[in-house]
Amino acid sequence: MNAILIATLVIAAVGAAAALALAIADKYLSVKEDPRIGLVTAALPGANCGGCGFAGCDGYARALVAGNAANGACAPGGPAVAAEIAKILGVEATATERRVALVKCCGTRSEALRVGDYNGICDCASAAATAGGDKGCRYGCLGYGACANVCPKHAIRVEDGLAIVDKRLCIGCGKCVSACPRRLIELVPASATIHVLCANPLKGPEVTKVCGVGCIGCHLCEKNSGGKEANHFTFDGFLAKVNYSNPPEDVTVVAKCPRKCIREDAHFETGA
Amino acid sequence: MKTVKSPFQFPGGVHPRYNKDLTEEKPIVDLPLPTTLAISMGQHLGAPAKCLVKPGDHVGLGQLIGEKSGFISANVHASASGTVKAVEKRPGPTGNLADAVILETDQDQTDTSAFMPPLDWEKASREELLARVEAAGICGMGGAGFPTSVKLNPPPDKHCEYLILNGAECEPYLTADCRMMMEHADRIRRGVETMRRILGGPAVRIAIENNKPAAIAAMEKAFADASGDVEIVVLPTLYPQGSEKHQIYATVGRVVPDGALPIAVGCVVENVGTAAAIADAVDSGMPLVRRVTTVSGDGIVEPKNVRAPVGTSYADLAAFCGGERGNVRKVISGGPMMGFTVPSLAIATTKTTSGLLFLTDASVFQYSSNPCIGCGRCLRACPMGLDPSAISCAVEAGDVADAEARGVMNCIECGACSFGCPAYRSITHFCRRAKISIRARLAAEKAKAAKKG
Amino acid sequence: MLDVLIALMPAACCAVYFFGLKAVWLMATCVGATVATEAVCRLLMRREMSILDFSAALTGLLLAFNLPPDIPLWMAATGAVFAITVAKQVFGGLGYNPFNPALAGRAFMLISFTGPMTTWTKSTWIGYFDPEGVQAVTTATPLGLIKQGAFADWNVFGFVRDLFVGNVNGCLGEVSALALLVGAAYLLWRKVITWHIPVSFIATVAIYAAFKGCGAPPLVHVLSGGVVLGAFFMATDYVTSPITPLGKLIFGAGCGVFTMLIRTADPANGGYPEGVSFSILVMNAFTPLINRWTRPRPFAKLQAKS
C-alpha cells in the first residue's frame, strides 16, 4: 500500500512540476504575436484548402495582418467571412460572390467514344500523356479522377467515366482547376443554374465523330434565349459558352439543345 | 581495323525475349508507292519546320517542303512527287498534333530533278559536307530524331575523339538496322567516312550486339580496308545496350555527366541508318525521304522489313504485310520497351519510325497494379543507377520533389524497371509523370525569371 | 510468393515426418487463420481482395514453422490473427508493413503464451508410424542445452548430423536444415532471393560464435534454432528488408549480431535461448534507415575507364 501511495505522490509531484514549468514558460517565454492573427484565423472557415494561395488558414491570416494579402481571397468563406475579416482589420469589405467548380464536359463512357483501353497509372495527367488520352475527343473529360483526388471536400465524383462536381459541397477553392490536364474545369458563379457542358471547339462533323453529346455550334441556344442581343451565350469557334455575367434563366434552352449538352443544376446531383 | 569485345559493362539492364527471328532473315523490301502520304513538319527533335507549300502546289520527289526554323531543327522534304491536297494538323504516335503536308502521289516517280548535286566526299570541304547533311534534313534515325548537322558541328571548345556508330538495336522485334548492316554496309561505310571528315578525323567505334553475327561479318568486310583507328566493338546482348550514354561507356569507358551531351566527353553517337542516309545525301544528292521500318509481331500476317517513303500511313504498311491476324490488342510504333502504343492506324511514319508492331492477346495482357513490395528487381535493372521503386512510390504519393531529389530527371525511360516488376507497377509511367511535372515547373520558373529580368 | 511456398514444401514434409499428424493440423490452422483473417480485414477495409497473392498463406506457413509442434491450436490461430491484422493489414496490406508479420505473430505469442511456446516434445525417427504415439515430454532443444552449458563433451559429429537432418527438438520448421537448404537452393535458382542476406547472416553468426566461443562450435550455432529458416526465408522478406545489395549485407550482418547477442546474454539480463526472431524484427526497424544510407550509385558516378 505504501508503495502505491509513494508512487502516486511522486508521479503527481512530477506532473505538478511540469505544469508549473509550462505555465512559467507560457508567461515569460511566449512569442509576442499580434492578437488579430488569432481573431482572423478563428474567423476563417478552417478548411485549410489552400485556395487562397497560402499554406492553410493560419498562413492566410498572418499574411492578411501583415498586409501581404488582399481580403476576399477566401472562396469557401465567401462574402460573410470577408466582411468579418474586414471588421477585425478595420478595412472596407469588398463584395464577392460564391463560386463553384464546373466540369465542362458531359461525355460519359456511354456517350463519348473511347479509342482504346488505357492501362497505366489511373490518373488523368498520365492518361493525357499517353497517346493524348484514350478518349476520342481531345478536349473532353478523361474520367480518371485527378480532380476528385485533390478536392478537399470530396465534392467531385466520377460516374461512368465523367467527373461531376456537387455544387452543394464545393467551396470554390480551385484545386481541381489546376489538377485537370485539359483545363476543363472553370469556377462559375454559384447562382448560375444553366451551363454548357462541352469544351470542344471543332466543327460539327468532327465532334459528332467522337461524341454523342458534344456541342456542334448550331446557335439554337442563342436563338431560344432571346438571340444575340440578349447576350446570354458567346461562341468560341463552334462551341457555345454561357455568359456568366448575364446567364440565361429560361430552362427551355436545356430541352431545345439538340445535342443535350446544356444542362441545369439537377445534373450535378443526379448526373442527369 | 579490328574486331574487339566490349571492354566495359554498364550495371543493370534486362534480357527481354527478342523475337527477332520473325524478321531478321527477311531482306528489306520496298513498299509499293502509297496513294497518299502525310509528311509531318515536326518529326525531328526541336522546333518544327516551317511549311513552304500550300494546297494545290505540285512538288517533286526530294523537294524542300519544310524549312528548318531555329538552331535545333531540320528540313523536311517531299517523300514522293505529287500534289499537295492539304496542310493540316495530324497526330503523331505520341498523340501530339503537328502540321502535316497531305500529298497525293503521282504515278511517275522518276523525276529526280529536285535532288541536290552529288558531292565527292573526299574532295568536298568539311563545310560543304556539313551543309549537305543539314540541307538533306538528316536527323537521328535511331528514334530520337536529333538534327544530325547540329550533332556533327560541336562548339569550338569541344573536340570529338570518338565517332561511335550505333548498330546495337537492342529493342525486341526490331531488325531494320540489322538488315541495313547486312545489305548496305558499303553505304554505311561511306556515311561514316563523311562524318569522320566533318568531325576532323576521330577514331571510329562500330558497336554491334553479339546476337547479330551476320551483321558483324558484313560490317567487318565493308570496313576491312578502312584507314585509321577503326574498331568493331561486339557488345553483349543486353537491353538497353543501344542507349547513347551506355553505349559510350561500353565502347570507350567514358561516363557522360548528368544533363550533358555525349560531346562533353568527346563522343558523337550516330545510328547506322543515319550513316546510310548521309551517304545517299552525298553520293546521289537524295535528301532523307525514306527509311526501313520493321513490321512485326504475332498479329501481322507477314512480318517484313519494309523500306517506305516518310509519311506512309500505318494502315498502308499493315496492308502490305498481309494485314492483321488474330485479335490484335496492341499496336506499337517503335519497339515494345520504349515505343508508343497508338490508338489508330491513321498515323503516318516519320524519319524515326523504326518499327510497327502488331501484338495479339497472346503477347499482351491487361494488368492492375499493386503496391510496391520492395523486391528490388527494378533497382537491379535500372541502367542509370536510380531507385525506381522509391521514385514510383514517391510520385504515387504526390511527392515529386522527392522523386527529383532521387534523380528522376536522369531517367532515360528505357522501361527496364517496369519490365521485371512482379507487382505490375507502371514504374516508367510514374517517372515520365514526374519528369513532365518537373519540366513544367522549370518552364514556369524560367518564364517568371524572364519576366522579372 | 508461390515459389516460396513451393520452397517450403520439403521442410513441411520433414515436419510431418518428424512430428506426425499434429504438424499437419498446426500448419493447416495457421494458414487457414491467416487467409481467413486477411479476407475479413480486406472486406472491412473495403479494399480489393488480396488473398490470391498467397502472401497471407505464406505468413501462415512461416508462422507455423516458428511454433512448437504441441502448441494448442487456438493459440496458433490467435497468433495468426495478430500477425495479419496488427502486423500487416493495419498498415495497408502487402507492401506497407514495416515488420515481418510471421515473426511479429511469433513474438506476440512468445510474450502472451510463454509456457506453451517454450515446451517441446521429443520427435522420433518413426514418429508418424509409431503405434505408441508421441509422449509429451519437456526436453531441451539444442539451444537450451547450449545455454545450460551442457555441451562440453557431446559427440559433436553425431549431433551436427542430427541437427542437419532434423532429428532434434525445435519448432516445426526449423529442425531440418537439409530440407530448408533444398528449398533455399530452389529460391536462389529462381532468383526469388539473392545470396546477400543469407550469406551475411549465417557468416556473421558463424564468425561471432567462432571468435567469442559461445558455448558451442560455430556449425552448431548455425544449424540450431531458426538461423537457416530465418536467414533464407524470413530475413529475405522483400517488404521488410533493404532493397540495395549493400543494404542487404548490412541487414544480414546486423541480424547475425543481434541473434548471437541475445543467445549469449545472461537470461537475467534479457537473454533467450533463441534470438533469430527478435533480431530480424529489430533489423526490420532499421530497414528504412539502411535504405537511406545505401542509395544506389547513379550512372553518372561510375568511374570512367580507359
Give the gap in angstroms from C-alpha B279 to the nearest C-alpha of chain C. 31
Query: How far apart are the C-alpha atoms of C299 and C138, rounded to whole Å?
Result: 58
Sign for the CA dihedral angle at B313, B315, B318, B319 comes to: negative
- Grouping H, G, I as helix, E, B as strand and the rest as coil, residue B396 is helix
Give the closest of A119, A121, A130 to B430, CB-based: A121
DSSP secondary-structure letter at B15?
-
Q: Which chains share 3+ C-beta pairs under 8 angstroms with B?
A: A, C
Encode chain C (306 residues) as per-residue pLDDT tens digits: 889 999 999 989 888 888 888 889 999 999 999 999 999 999 999 888 888 889 999 999 999 998 988 889 999 999 999 999 999 999 988 989 999 999 999 999 988 988 888 776 655 433 332 333 333 334 456 666 666 555 554 555 555 666 666 556 667 777 678 888 899 999 999 989 999 999 999 999 999 888 876 666 777 777 776 888 999 999 999 999 999 999 999 999 999 999 988 888 766 665 666 788 999 999 999 999 999 999 998 998 888 776
Q: Where are the domains of chain B?
A: 2-25+123-283, 377-452
Structure confidence by residue, pLDDT tens digits, A222-270: 888 888 888 889 998 899 999 888 888 888 888 889 989 998 887 777 6
Chain A residue with the nearest C-alpha to that of B418: A120
Chain C residue with the nearest C-alpha to that of B10: C299
Do B379 and C296 make contact, defined as CB atoms within 8 angstroms? yes
Beta strands in B347-434 (DSSP E): 355-360
Do A119 and B366 make contact, defined as CB atoms within 8 angstroms? yes
Residue B177: closest CA among B99, B105, B271, B263: B271
CB C258 within 8 A of CB C251: no
DSSP secondary-structure letter at C233?
I
DSSP letters for C88-130: TGGGTSTTT-SS-HHHHHHHHHHHHSHHHHT--PPP-TTTTT-
Q: What number of other Cβ atoms are within 10 A of residue C302's Cβ?
A: 17
Query: How far apart are the C-alpha atoms of B233 and B216, rounded to whole Å?
Result: 9
Tell whether A227 is within 8 A of chain B (Cβ). Answer: no
Do B366 and A131 make contact, defined as CB atoms within 8 angstroms? no
Q: What is the pLDDT of residue B109?
A: 83
Give the closest of B91, B343, B396 to A116, CB-based: B343
Residue B274: closest CA among B163, B351, B170: B351
- pLDDT higher for A1 or C157? A1
Structure confidence by residue, pLDDT tens digits, A81-110: 888 888 888 777 666 677 889 999 999 999
Strands A99-103 and A185-189: antiparallel
Query: How far apart are the C-alpha atoms of C112 and C106, rounded to whole Å?
Result: 10
Structure confidence by residue, pLDDT tens digits, A37-68: 888 888 888 888 877 778 888 888 888 888 77
Question: Which site among B436, B437, B439 would you substitute to test the A interface, given the most A Cβ atoms closer than 10 Å to its Cβ?
Answer: B436
Strand partners, A164: A157
CB pairs under 8 A between B and C: 80
DSSP secondary-structure letter at C72?
-
Strands B230-235 and B2-5: parallel
User: Which residue type occupies A94?
Assistant: T
Contacts C94 to B, Cβ<8 Å:
370-371, 373
pTM of the model: 0.84
Structure confidence by residue, pLDDT tens digits, B317-375: 999 999 999 899 999 999 999 999 998 899 999 999 999 999 999 988 888 888 999 99
Tell me, rounded to whole angstroms, the distance of Cα B193 from its chain centroid.
21
Contacts B343 to A, Cβ<8 Å:
115-116, 131, 134
Structure confidence by residue, pLDDT tens digits, A160-192: 999 999 988 888 888 899 889 999 999 998 888
DSSP secondary-structure letter at A31?
P
Contacts C298 to B, Cβ<8 Å:
258, 384-386, 407, 410
DSSP letters for A147-186: HHHH-TT--EEEETTEEEE-TTT-----HHHHH-TT--EE
CB B263 within 8 A of CB B34: no
Strand partners, B291: B308
Query: How far apart are the C-alpha atoms of B141 and C100, rounded to whole Å?
Result: 50
Chain B residue with the nearest C-alpha to that of C298: B385
Q: What number of other Cβ atoms are within 10 A of residue A258's Cβ?
A: 9
Q: For residue C114, give Cα distances in angstroms to B25, B106, B193, C30, C109.
A: 70, 91, 81, 18, 7
Radius of gyration of chain C (CA): 19
Low-confidence stretches of chain B (pLDDT < 50) are: none
Q: For residue A14, give Cα distances in angstroms to A9, A10, A28.
A: 9, 6, 21
DSSP secondary-structure letter at A93?
P
Query: How far apart are the C-alpha atoms of A91 and A84, rounded to whole Å?
Result: 10
Contacts B10 to C, Cβ<8 Å:
299, 302
Radius of gyration of chain A (CA): 26
Q: How many CA atoms lie within 13 A of B16 on its CB side?
A: 24
Q: What is the pLDDT of residue C69?
A: 86
Contacts C299 to B, Cβ<8 Å:
10-11, 245-246, 249, 255, 383-385, 410
CATH of range B2-25+123-283; options 2.30.30.60, 3.90.1150.10, 3.40.50.300, 3.40.50.11540: 3.40.50.11540
Strand partners, B356: B295, B333
Q: What is the pLDDT of residue C138?
A: 42
Q: What number of other Cβ atoms are within 10 A of residue A124's Cβ?
A: 25
Which structural domains are found in chain A, ordered by start? 35-89 (1.10.15.40), 99-270 (no CATH)
Q: What is the pLDDT of residue C133?
A: 37
